[in-house]
């Protein structure tokens, strides 16, 4: 097990800088997820750590040892890819045993290691099969088994579940989590899927265009997004984001959206200044159809017309508008008969972002 340190890492392909400044420490035994949209530099960052991509500038340390000039095969890291990359002509057993054989491990030792990993991943009945005789989930487990037997310092996963269907993704997520609980190996997991990040991570690093947008626990990034990008990237359905303005009426501050004026909640008062352009964020689940559904009295009533409804299963999504801007409400009440309703905005769950910097006013 080992701590992983990225020190001012940059990466360019030709003239294009795709990782702009990456400074981050993964603690020993920690499970960190790199999360971000496609093309933001997640795989490139992981591949620099694995030694599969050169580092343009900066340093990477694993367990205190500088990795920059060390060959990929000597870094003692195990990587699991989206494509699994199994050897098609080898059986499950041979696939898992391969790296140990290369290391020159003795046959009985190899056998013990392979069987222990297979047992943990419930692959024991499949050891004689070839990859083509396996389902996607089983192949993914073989790829994980192959990584596990090497008892690496660090596990690296690059979108390992992206080729699986939704149900299997859920199961495999649980298995990866269980594996980390048992082995406690430092793990870096790359994904564009916020659900994977939220369910697996001790800490999430949210990346955007080669920058770190926020680092935090799943609760941090969900409840206290540092900027507009994170606010809208995390959470499904996405957070409502409304153009607004801070106004001052005889020394009292309000957030103005068209004709509507919401009193500025106490916690933003340190940032009060008039005529500042803002984005007001509120999650669809923080808007209610009855004031009693909020367990405090800091609610704001807002009459609206319902434009459309979408059944999500256990809840419905109401599509409304405020000052011509879309506002979505997720409610458990599956029967909403009226076309005109009063919504209650939970003011404790309101987010404000400066329209210019897009940073949260609360941070
Ligand atoms: P992610 O994994 O977050 O989807 P990548 O790290 O794969 O993103 O890619 C980041 C950016 O770098 C993308 O714009 C991609 O097109 C570019 N890129 C990745 N690999 C190469 C390469 N070998 N040559 C040139 N550009 C690359
Ligand atoms: Mg990628």
Average pLDDT over residues 43-54: 96
Average pLDDT over residues 209-218: 97
Residues of the chain with CATH 2.40.50.140: 240-354
CA within 13 Å, CB half, 184? 4
Neighbours of 44 (CB within 10 A): 19
Ligand 1 in reach of 87 Cβ (< 6 A) = no
**Secondary structure of the chain in the HEC alphabet?**
CCCEEEEEEEEEECCEEEEEEEEEEECCCCEEEEECCCCCCHHHHHHHHHCCCCCCEEEEEECCEECCCCCHHHCCEEEEECCCCCCCCCCHHHHHHHHHHHCCCCHHHHHHHHHHHHHHCCCHHHCCCCHHHCCHHHHHHHHHHHHHCCCCCEEEEECCCCCCCHHHHHHHHHHHHHHHHHHCCEEEEEECCHHHHHHHCCEEEEEECCEEEEEECHHHHHHCCCEHHHHHHCCCCCCEEEEEEEEEECCEEEEEECCEEEECCHHHHHHCCCCEEEEEEECHHHEECCHHHCCCCCEEEEEEECCEEEECCCCEEEEEEECCEEEEEEECCCCCCCCEEEEEEEHHHCEEEECCCCEECCC
Atom of ligand 1 nearest to the CA of 38: 4
Q: How confident is the model at residue 13 (pLDDT cuts 50, 70, 90)?
A: very high
Predicted pLDDT at 104: 92
Predicted pLDDT at 169: 85
Atom of ligand 1 nearest to the CA of 158: 2
What is d(CA 345, CA 349) in angstroms, rounded to the nearest whole number? 8
Q: How confident is the model at residue 115 (pLDDT cuts 50, 70, 90)?
A: very high
Residue 334 has pLDDT above 80, yes or no: no
Residue whose Cα lies nearest atom 5 of ligand 1: it is 41
Residue whose Cα lies nearest atom 16 of ligand 1: it is 39
Fold adopted by 240-354 = OB fold (Dihydrolipoamide Acetyltransferase, E2P) (2.40.50)
Give the ligand with the smallest distance to the CA of 160: 2
User: How far lies 97's CA from each of 101, 145, 252, in Å?
Assistant: 6, 9, 70
- Which among 12, 22, 42, 44 is the best mutation to test ligand 1's pocket, defined by most ligand atoms within 8 Å of the CB? 44
Ligand 1 in reach of 43 Cβ (< 6 A) = yes
Residues of the chain with CATH 3.40.50.300: 4-228
Predicted pLDDT at 65: 96
pLDDT, tens digit, for every residue of 266-310?
A: 989 888 787 789 999 999 999 999 999 899 999 999 999 999 999
Ligand 1 in reach of 18 Cβ (< 6 A) = yes
Residues 6+ apart with CB under 8 A from 15: none
Atom of ligand 1 nearest to the CA of 210: 10
Neighbours of 335 (CB within 10 A): 5
Residue 1 has pLDDT above 80, yes or no: no
- Which among 9, 13, 48 is the best mutation to test ligand 1's pocket, defined by most ligand atoms within 8 Å of the CB? 13
Residue whose Cα lies nearest atom 25 of ligand 1: it is 13
Ligand 1 in reach of 39 Cβ (< 6 A) = yes
User: How far lies 110's CA from each of 93, 100, 105, 124, in Å?
Assistant: 10, 6, 6, 15
What is d(CA 136, CA 62) in angstroms, rounded to the nearest whole number? 32
What is d(CA 257, CA 66) in angstroms, rounded to the nearest whole number? 53
Residues 6+ apart with CB under 8 A from 348: 265, 296, 298
10-14, 96-100, 203-207, 333-337: range with lowest mean pLDDT? 333-337
Residue 363 has pLDDT above 70, yes or no: no
- Which among 12, 17, 18 is the best mutation to test ligand 1's pocket, defined by most ligand atoms within 8 Å of the CB? 18
pLDDT, tens digit, for every residue of 56-108?
A: 999 999 999 999 999 998 999 999 888 878 999 999 999 999 989 988 999 99
More confident residue, 176 or 202: 202
User: How far lies 316's CA from each of 258, 291, 331, 336, in Å?
Assistant: 27, 18, 6, 9
Average pLDDT over residues 101-116: 93
Atom of ligand 1 nearest to the CA of 16: 26
pTM of the model: 0.92
Predicted pLDDT at 205: 98
More confident residue, 140 or 303: 303
Q: How far is the CA of 40 from the centre of ligand 2 (A)?
A: 8
pLDDT, tens digit, for every residue of 26-45?
A: 999 999 999 999 999 999 99
Q: How far is CA 149 from the centre of its chain?
A: 27
The CATH homologous superfamily to which domain 4-228 belongs is P-loop containing nucleotide triphosphate hydrolases (3.40.50.300)
What is d(CA 21, CA 202) in angstroms, rounded to the nearest whole number? 22
Ligand 1 in reach of 37 Cβ (< 6 A) = no
Give the ligand with the smallest distance to the CA of 82: 2
Phi, psi of 211 (to 5 degrees): -110, 160
| CA nearest neighbour of 6 among 55, 74, 43 | 55
Query: Is 127 within 8 Å of 118 (Cβ atoms)?
Result: yes
Predicted pLDDT at 229: 98
Q: How confident is the model at residue 331 (pLDDT cuts 50, 70, 90)?
A: very high
Residues 6+ apart with CB under 8 A from 201: 31, 32, 33, 35, 189, 217, 218
Give the ligand with the smallest distance to the CA of 37: 1
């Amino acid at each position: 097990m080992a701590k992983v340190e990225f020190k001012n890492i940059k990466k360019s392909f030709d003239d294009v800088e795709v990782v702009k400044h990456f400074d981050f420490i993964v603690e020993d035994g920690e499970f960190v997820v790199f999360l971000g949209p496609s093309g933001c530099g997640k795989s490139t960052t992981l591949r620099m750590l694995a030694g599969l991509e050169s580092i343009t500038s900066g340093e990477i340390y694993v367990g205190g040892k500088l990795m920059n000039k060390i060959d990929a095969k000597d870094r003692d890291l195990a990587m699991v890819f989206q494509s699994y990359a199994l050897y098609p002509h080898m059986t499950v057993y041979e696939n898992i045993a391969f790296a140990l054989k290369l290391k020159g491990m003795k046959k009985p030792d190899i056998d013990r290691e392979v069987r222990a990993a297979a047992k943990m991943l419930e692959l024991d009945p499949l050891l004689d099969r070839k990859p083509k005789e396996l389902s996607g989930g089983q192949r993914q487990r073989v790829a994980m088994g192959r990584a596990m037997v090497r008892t690496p310092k660090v596990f690296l996963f690059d979108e390992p579940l992206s080729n699986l269907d939704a149900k299997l993704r859920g199961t495999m997520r649980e298995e990866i989590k269980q594996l980390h609980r048992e082995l406690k190996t430092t793990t870096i997991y790359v994904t564009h899927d916020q659900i994977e990040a939220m369910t697996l991570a001790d800490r999430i690093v949210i990346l955007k265009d080669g920058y770190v947008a926020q680092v935090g626990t799943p609760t941090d990034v969900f409840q206290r997004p540092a900027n507009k990008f994170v606010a809208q990237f995390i959470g499904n359905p996405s957070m409502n984001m409304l153009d607004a303005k801070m106004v001052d009426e005889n020394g009292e501050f309000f957030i103005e959206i068209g004709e509507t004026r919401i009193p500025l909640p106490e916690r933003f008062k340190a940032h009060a200044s008039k005529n500042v352009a803002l984005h007001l964020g509120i999650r669809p689940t923080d808007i209610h159809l009855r004031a009693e559904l909020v367990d405090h009295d800091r609610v704001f009533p807002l009459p609206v017309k319902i434009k459309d409804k979408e059944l999500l299963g256990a809840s419905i999504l109401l599509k409304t508008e405020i000052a011509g801007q879309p506002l979505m409400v997720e409610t458990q009440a599956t029967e909403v008969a009226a076309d005109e309703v009063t919504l209650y905005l939970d003011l404790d769950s309101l987010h404000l972002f400066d329209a210019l910097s897009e940073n949260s006013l609360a941070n």
